């Protein structure tokens, strides 16, 4: 964003006050035994690799699977996974639209969801003394969440997917801001839904490489292949008449997770039911893991651990919590000691209690009790243990064996999502109030699915913990300690650049570039496109470092490289445009802003920047039109409002200028430029 400084200089050219402006950016699983084995059957040793792990295997979609597995399909689509994501429709929505809307007191914004015929909208508005000062209505394109706990709402504009500022919490039957929008950080309609998020809430979409959140296509709901792997080879074999008696042999054209070794079976579930600080391994993406593979080869998931914090858990932490249970630990040790090759017959896993093809809502509670009683049977327990159990149940006023889950997996709220309750999968004796109230102390970050992650992975986890979850400086100190080996400097380059960028240590970033050789960086080290834009982010951070050290020519080189690697990362392109304009390359800058608006008509900073360029060209009416368009999308955008204020000062319309400056002062009272301008008026 730019322009305010220049115009104020024109307006207050006789003033002794200098206005400074900084450019800102701004799971069981079916047996395919419908075919009877014959002399042409294919047999494979259990040590063979799954064919659908290869690059030639493609995803075919759930509608292809249902052609042979109709009954499984019919039950699966009623599960939480099957209903995880779909187009916004009345049949998909679980919300009660007669309930009150939301008022975000900090942002002073009201929200109300409503239907207009068969289309769902969210209305954002601001009221003052019964007068509507601002109104914006946006259509909802997708509903995310099965409705068992929540329905959240997403919008897609030219492929760019964002979350909207309303969630319906079905258990509490109330509307509220989505998780992460509370406490003054309401991002309204601009929260980007990237691959990490959508890849667990849906089947795999087609993400356009070089973007954060632009998709070419979007499926509807988690499908069969998320647990069974790509289905093209399996389908082709069946179409060609190949048959396997799966009661005797494993079909290696497709993964049946129930017949995987216990760790790989857990990894299928842990891909999404092990929520936390997910760190991709080098050159991997959230697309790469396939059922039957080792998850830690692709992703390591970290969680902060504390003393005395066993009662706290996050929403999708089922696998981590279950693995802390004595039930699981003893089961796992039993299998490991016996060296059982087919653990699915004896192990305690997720599918001991859950059939992933059947909705929890349609599962009789006796199923869960029976799972417990398969080990804890009063007929087989010794007399002393049996007596203790019976006395304990009497103490808690529960009928013996009436409902194991209610006491040993109690319902509780998760620490990351408001208004929801979920069963804690840490199976244990009931926790006393004294245990709940113990003071907790941070121990460190631990990889939940990997015993000994390497130093770089741990360092990335600490950086990510600071960057996304909790801005404590000791996280960065820990990360730097893991990155201190000078022999691994080149290998650690991305993490080091990110860490120093967070600390605004631009000199050290430039030193890193010089140490690696700038020419080599541009020609060898930072040249790859990827789904997570690793090289593009490094280039952008290097560019910003040169920019803040006033080395604009070099900054432009690195900004250009960043958008070459990530052409649909509009924040990168916006900063490139403002830097071009700062060096009077106005035509090139205008090209960048026009590209942004062609891609996303709701990108406010581009309206502000392009408006300023029009003002420099003497096209005042065009400038005002662009400013007003930006204001209609975001009436509180600081830098847009600065430019609008400056526009009216330039036009000597002091009443309008004062109106915008007062609004700015209310929103951003520490902005000294605004305070000075108000005093001048």
Q: How many CB atoms lie within 10 A of CB 85?
A: 23
Residue carrying structure tokens 């104020």: 8
Q: Three-state SS across 551-585?
A: CHHHHHHHHHHHHHHCCCCHHHHHHHHHHHHHCCC
Residue 153 in tokens: 């709402």
211 by Cβ neighbours in 10 Å (0-12 / 13-18 / 19+) ranks as buried
Q: Please say whether the dihedral angle defined by the alpha carbons of residues 584, 588, 591 and 596, taken in this order, is positive or negative.
A: negative
Q: What mean pLDDT is predicted for residues 657-674?
A: 92
Distance CA 156, CA 211 (A): 14
Q: Average the pLDDT over 639-648 and give the result.
A: 94
pLDDT at 156: 97
Q: What is the pLDDT of residues 581-600, one digit of tens each?
A: 999 999 999 999 999 999 99
> Tens digit of pLDDT for each residue in 394-451?
655 555 556 788 888 888 777 668 888 888 888 888 877 676 677 778 888 999 999 9
- The string of DSSP codes covering 72-98 is HHHHHTTSTTTTSEEE--TTT----TT
Q: Output the DSSP codes for 447-504.
A: ESS-SS--HHHHHHHHHHIIIII---HHHHHHHHHHT--GGGTTTTHHHHHHHHHHTT
Mean pLDDT across 309-316 = 72
pLDDT band, very low/low/confident/very high, at 312 (cuts 50, 70, 90): confident
Q: Does pLDDT of 341 surpass 90? A: no
Please say whether the dihedral angle defined by the alpha carbons of residues 68, 69, 74 and 78, taken in this order, is positive or negative.
Answer: negative
pTM for the full predicted model: 0.88
Task: Provide, rounded to the nearest whole percent, the portion of the chain with pLDDT above 90.
Answer: 67
pLDDT over 70 at 381, yes or no:
no
More confident call, 294 vs 332: 294
pLDDT higher than 50, residue 25: no
Q: What is the mean pLDDT of residues 645-655?
A: 93
Please work out, in degrees rounded to the nearest 5, the angle formed at the alpha carbon of residue 403 by the alpha carbons of 399 and 407.
Answer: 95
Q: Are 397 and 406 in contact (CB under 8 A)?
A: no
Rounded CA gap, 215 and 566, in Å?
Answer: 14
Across 8-17, 296-305, 355-364, 565-574, least confident range: 8-17
Q: How far apart are CA 599 and CA 211, in angstroms?
A: 11
CA–CA distance, 650 with 612 (Å, rounded to integer): 12
Q: What is the mean pLDDT of residues 285-289?
A: 96
Query: Please, are residues 643 and 36 in contact by the beta-carbon 8 Å criterion?
Result: no
- Please name the residues in contact with 31: beta carbons below 8 A apart, sequence gap of 6 or more: 246, 247, 256
Mean pLDDT value of segment 16-40: 33
pLDDT band for 187, please (50, 70, 90 cuts).
very high
**Which residues does 105 contact at the CB level (< 8 Å), separation at least 6?**
none
Q: How confident is the model at residue 154 (pLDDT cuts 50, 70, 90)?
A: very high
Query: Residue 331: pLDDT above 90?
Result: no
Asked which of 299-303, 376-380, 472-476, 516-520 is least confident by mean pLDDT, the reply is: 376-380
pLDDT of residue 43: 38
Q: What is the dihedral of CA 573, 579, 585, 586, to 10 degrees?
A: 70
Residue of 103, 79, 270, 272 whose CA lies nearest to 182 = 103
Token duo for residue 620: 């005042």
Q: Is the pLDDT of residue 320 over 70?
A: yes
pLDDT at 347: 74
Average pLDDT over residues 73-84: 94
Instruction: Compute the C-alpha angle 424/430/433, nearest 5°.
Output: 100
Q: In the predicted model, is pLDDT for residue 33 greater than 50? A: no
Specify the pairing of strand 131-139 against strand 142-144.
Answer: unpaired
Phi, psi of 467 (to 5 degrees): -70, -30
Q: What is the pLDDT of residue 92?
A: 97
pLDDT for residue 375 is more than 70: yes
Tokens of 248: 């005797």
CB 305 within 8 A of CB 445: yes
Closest Cα to residue 60, out of 211, 238, 208? 238
Q: Smallest Cα–Cα separation from 423: which of 435, 437, 404, 406?
A: 406
Distance CA 165, CA 189 (A): 6
pLDDT the model gives residue 665: 92
The set of residues, in sequence order, having a beta carbon less than 8 Å from that of 333 and lying 6+ positions away, is none
What percent of the chain is predicted at pLDDT more than 70? 86
Average pLDDT value for residue range 62-80: 95
pLDDT band at 346 (very low <50, low <70, confident <90, very high): low
Q: pLDDT: is 220 or 24 the higher one?
A: 220
pLDDT higher for 167 or 401?
A: 167
pLDDT at 4: 42
For position 75, what pLDDT does the model report? 95
Paired strand residues for 110: 103, 125
Please give the average per-residue pLDDT across 499-510, as a whole number: 98
Compute the mean pLDDT over every residue in the chain, rounded to the nearest whole number: 87
Structure tokens at 588: 């090139």
Largest CA distance in the chain: 98
Distance CA 426, CA 409 (A): 6
Q: Token digits for 202?
A: 């849906």
Kindly report the backbone phi and psi dihedral angles of residue 125, in degrees, each rounded to the nearest multiple of 5, phi listed first. Answer: -155, 165
Q: What is the dihedral of CA 566, 571, 572, 574, to 10 degrees?
A: 130
- Nearest-angstrom CA–CA distance, 177 and 189: 12
106-133: pLDDT as tens digits: 999 999 999 999 999 999 999 998 899 9
HEC assignment per residue over 597-608 = HHHCCCCHHHHH
Q: Helices 534-548 and 506-516: crossing angle, nearest 10°?
A: 120
As a whole number of angstroms, the distance between CA 64 and CA 186 comes to 41
Q: How many residues does the chain have?
A: 681
Please tell me what DSSP assigns to residue 151: E
How far apart are the C-alpha atoms of 493 and 372, rounded to whole Å?
Answer: 50
Q: How far apart are CA 341 and CA 68, in angstroms?
A: 30
User: What pLDDT was estimated at residue 424?
Assistant: 84
The H or E element that residue 164 is part of is strand 160-169
For residues 144 and 218, the answer to whether their CB atoms sit within 8 Å is: no
pLDDT value at residue 322: 86
Q: Where are the beta strands (DSSP E) in 18-108?
A: 85-87, 102-104
pLDDT of residue 324: 85
User: How far apart are alpha carbons 637 and 25 in whole angstroms?
Assistant: 12
301 beta partners: 278
674 or 480, which is more confident?
480
Give the residue from 181, 176, 186 showing the smallest Cα distance to 101. Answer: 176
DSSP 8-state symbol, 431: P
Contact 261, 297 (CB under 8 A): no
């Amino acid at each position: 964003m730019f322009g305010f400084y220049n115009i104020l200089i024109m307006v207050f050219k006789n003033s002794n006050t200098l206005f400074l402006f900084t450019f800102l950016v701004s799971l069981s699983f079916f047996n395919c035994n419908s075919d009877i084995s014959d002399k042409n059957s294919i047999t494979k040793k259990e040590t063979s690799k799954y064919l659908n792990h290869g690059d030639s295997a493609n995803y075919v979609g759930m509608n292809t699977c249902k052609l042979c597995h109709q009954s499984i399909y019919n039950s699966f689509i009623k599960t939480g996974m099957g209903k995880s994501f779909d187009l916004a429709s009345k049949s998909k929505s679980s919300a009660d639209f007669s309930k009150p809307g939301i008022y975000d007191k900090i942002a002073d914004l009201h929200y109300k969801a409503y239907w207009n015929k068969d289309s769902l909208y969210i209305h954002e508005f601001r009221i003052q003394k019964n007068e509507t000062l601002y109104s914006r209505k946006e259509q909802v394109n997708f509903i995310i969440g099965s409705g068992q706990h929540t329905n959240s709402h997403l919008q897609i504009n030219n492929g760019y997917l964002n979350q909207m500022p309303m969630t319906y919490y079905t258990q509490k039957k109330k509307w509220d801001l989505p998780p992460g929008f509370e406490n003054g950080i309401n991002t309204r309609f601009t929260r980007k839904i990237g691959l990490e998020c959508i890849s667990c809430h849906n089947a795999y979409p087609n993400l356009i490489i070089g973007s954060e959140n632009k998709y070419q296509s979007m499926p509807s709901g988690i499908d069969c292949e998320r647990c069974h792997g790509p289905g093209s080879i399996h389908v082709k074999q069946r179409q060609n008449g190949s048959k396997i008696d799966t009661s005797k042999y494993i079909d290696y054209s497709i993964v049946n997770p129930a017949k995987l070794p216990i760790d790989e079976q857990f990894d299928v579930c842990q891909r999404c039911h092990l929520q936390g600080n997910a760190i991709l391994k080098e050159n991997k993406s959230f697309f790469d893991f396939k059922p039957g593979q080792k998850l830690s080869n692709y992703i390591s998931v970290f969680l902060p651990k504390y003393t005395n914090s066993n009662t706290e858990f996050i929403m999708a932490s089922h696998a981590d919590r279950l693995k802390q249970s004595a039930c699981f630990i003893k089961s796992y040790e039993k299998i490991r000691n016996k060296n059982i090759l087919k653990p699915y017959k004896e192990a305690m896993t997720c599918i001991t209690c859950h059939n992933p093809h059947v909705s929890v809502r349609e599962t009789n509670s006796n199923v869960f009790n029976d799972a417990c009683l398969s080990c804890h049977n009063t007929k087989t327990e010794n007399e002393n243990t049996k007596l203790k159990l019976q006395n304990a149940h009497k103490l808690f006023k529960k009928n013996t064996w009436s409902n194991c889950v209610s006491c040993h997996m109690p319902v509780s709220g998760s620490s990351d999502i408001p208004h929801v309750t979920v069963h804690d999968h840490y199976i244990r004796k009931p926790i006393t109030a004294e245990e709940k109230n113990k003071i907790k102390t941070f121990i460190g970050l631990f990889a939940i699915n990997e015993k000994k992650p390497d130093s770089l992975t741990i360092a990335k986890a600490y950086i990510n913990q600071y960057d996304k979850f909790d801005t404590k400086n000791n996280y960065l100190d820990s990360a730097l300690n893991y990155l201190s080996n000078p022999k691994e400097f080149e290998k650690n380059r991305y993490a080091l650049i990110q860490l120093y960028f967070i600390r605004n240590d631009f000199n050290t970033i430039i030193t890193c570039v010089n140490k690696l050789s700038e020419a080599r960086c541009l020609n060898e080290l930072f040249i790859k496109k990827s789904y997570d834009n690793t090289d593009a982010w490094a280039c952008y951070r290097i560019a910003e470092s040169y920019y803040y050290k006033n080395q604009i020519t070099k900054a432009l080189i690195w900004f250009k490289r960043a958008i070459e690697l990530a052409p649909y990362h509009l924040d990168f392109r916006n900063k490139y445009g403002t830097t071009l304009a700062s060096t009077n390359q106005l035509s090139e800058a205008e090209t960048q802003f026009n590209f942004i608006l062609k891609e996303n008509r709701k990108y406010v900073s581009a309206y502000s920047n392009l408006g300023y360029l029009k003002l420099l060209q003497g096209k005042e009416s065009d400038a005002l039109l662009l400013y007003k368009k930006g204001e209609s999308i975001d009436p509180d955008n600081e830098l847009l409002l600065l430019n609008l204020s400056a526009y009216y000062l330039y036009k000597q319309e002091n009443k309008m200028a004062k109106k915008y400056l007062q609004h700015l002062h209310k929103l951003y009272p520490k902005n000294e430029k605004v305070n000075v301008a108000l005093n001048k008026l």
